Amino acid sequence: MVPTYFHRQLVFTCIAAVACGNGRDEGPLAVGSMSMSSSVSTDSTGGVGSTTAADTSGPTTAADTSGPTTAADTSGPVTTPDSTGMTKFDVGGSADRTGGSDDGSSCDPSTNPNCTGCTKVDFLFVVDNSSSMGSYQENLRNSFGPFIDTITSEIKGNDYHIMLVDSDACSEYGAFVGGCGSGMGCDVVLGAGQVRDCPIPGGVRYLTSADPNLKSNFQCMANVGLAGDREEMVVSAAVEAIGPVASPGQCNEGFLRDDALLVITIISDDHSGYVGDDNENGFGGTPQSWYDAILEAKGNNVKNIVVLGLIAIDPPPSCSELDGEWLADQFKDFVEMFGSQGIVGSVCEPDYNDPFFQNAVNLIDITCDEFVPPQG
């Protein structure tokens, strides 16, 4: 049964950045893929469920259709910090935000250009693959099944692209065998979708909602291992994934669609307390330059983007793997530049579904309703 706490409509491109081989762990660096958790639920087909009618219960006040246009603009759903440090938001709004009936059936943006609302979602997960990220990668794999079940059952948009990238430009064992940038094709391109030996249909580097084995294939892709470069380029990987690497003829061709909602999820425990030429320490860009690049990739319309950050915001002992200067201030600033379109949560949370992905689904639902397809 799909959890009732998730909201209904979602177009989601997640960047899940999971911090990887950063040299900050005690003991030998872990090598190779982690075993796949068996606790992620699947349906009888191994795929996803069908879209159902939207729940029309909830607040009846009109939604604020304005959205942030700059880093300082906080219009849209109201954000407030909860006791865990996670940014939460007011999901109030009209049950009918599509311009048609409550379930959106009389106003289909794919056939009526005057309608708003999304029918497609591009999910980009950026997973940091450094040596300290084992438990966080497992948490992501365990959370994906319930999350995608909720998306497919509650969200109007049911045409998905799902891609996962890691935080370096190495092959899985590149740190040990000199594979970084050594002519191994897309496997050593920063921002290229992770495929490795996973049975991804169609010869592309991303999954689609038509894949009957969507959950198990995502788990395979998310098993990025712990042998990544210690200099994590988490947000740079996201920028490359939907920018140059998504261009015609490049590794991620076909993933990013103009008429889809983009959901980026970053999962990383990297923080500025460790020395390294990585994003958290000022290399590879700034929050403003990353924000500008993501915005440009989506036609400079921030309302068609959702950014989620599961990052280092909790000091030890709540996140025992972290020490020193524990705050991922660069990543936090980047997500918060999207105003009400971004949510920051702790990578140390024991369950990403509750409450982080609960909040994410609600935000995606609102953003999907207000999505304005490009004209012409």
Over the stretch 31-49, which tens digit does the pLDDT of each residue have? 233 333 333 333 433 333 3
Residue 44, in any domain of the structure? no
When comparing pLDDT for 18 and 357, which is higher? 357
Count the neighbouring beta carbons within 10 Å of the beta carbon of residue 371: 26
Predicted TM-score (pTM) of the model is 0.71
pLDDT at position 164 over 80: yes
- C-alpha 375/C-alpha 259 separation (Å) is 9
Residue 281 within any structural domain of the chain: yes
- Any domain includes 224: yes
Could you tell me the sign of the dihedral formed by the alpha carbons of 317, 319, 325, 327, in that order? negative
Total domain count, the chain: 1
Which phi and psi angles does 154 have, rounded to 5°?
A: -115, -20
> pLDDT digits over 95-152, tens only?
333 333 334 344 555 566 666 688 999 999 999 888 788 888 888 888 888 888 888 7
Give mean pLDDT, residues 281-295. 95
The more confident residue out of 248 and 137 is 248
Confidence band for 22, pLDDT divided at 50, 70 and 90 = very low
Is 306 within a domain? yes
Least-confidence region, from 73-82, 220-229, 256-265: 73-82
The answer as to whether 154 is a domain residue is yes
Beta strand extents in the chain (DSSP E only): 79-81, 87-89, 120-127, 159-166, 207-208, 261-267, 305-311, 342-346
Instruction: Mean pLDDT check: name the lowest of 10-19, 138-147, 273-282, 330-339.
Output: 10-19
Q: Say if 45 falls within a structural domain.
A: no
Give the length of the chain.
376
Among the listed residues 215, 200, 223, the one whose alpha carbon sits nearest the alpha carbon of residue 148: 215
- Pick the residue with more confidence: 274 or 346? 346
Q: Is residue 148 part of a domain?
A: yes
Residue 263's pLDDT band, with cuts at 50, 70 and 90, is: very high
- Average pLDDT over the chain, rounded to an integer: 73
Could you give the 3-state DSSP secondary structure of residue 232?
Answer: coil
Distance CA 303, CA 301 (A): 5
Report CA torsion sign: 30, 233, 138, 333.
Answer: positive
Query: What digits encode the pLDDT tens for the residues 290-338?
Result: 999 999 999 999 999 999 999 998 877 777 666 667 889 999 999 999 9
Q: What is the pLDDT of residue 309?
A: 96
pLDDT for 109 equals: 54
For residue 89, give its domain range. 79-369
Residue 30 lies in a domain: no
336-361 pLDDT, tens digit per residue, is: 999 999 999 999 888 898 889 989 99
User: Which CATH number does the domain housing residue 320 bear?
Assistant: 3.40.50.410
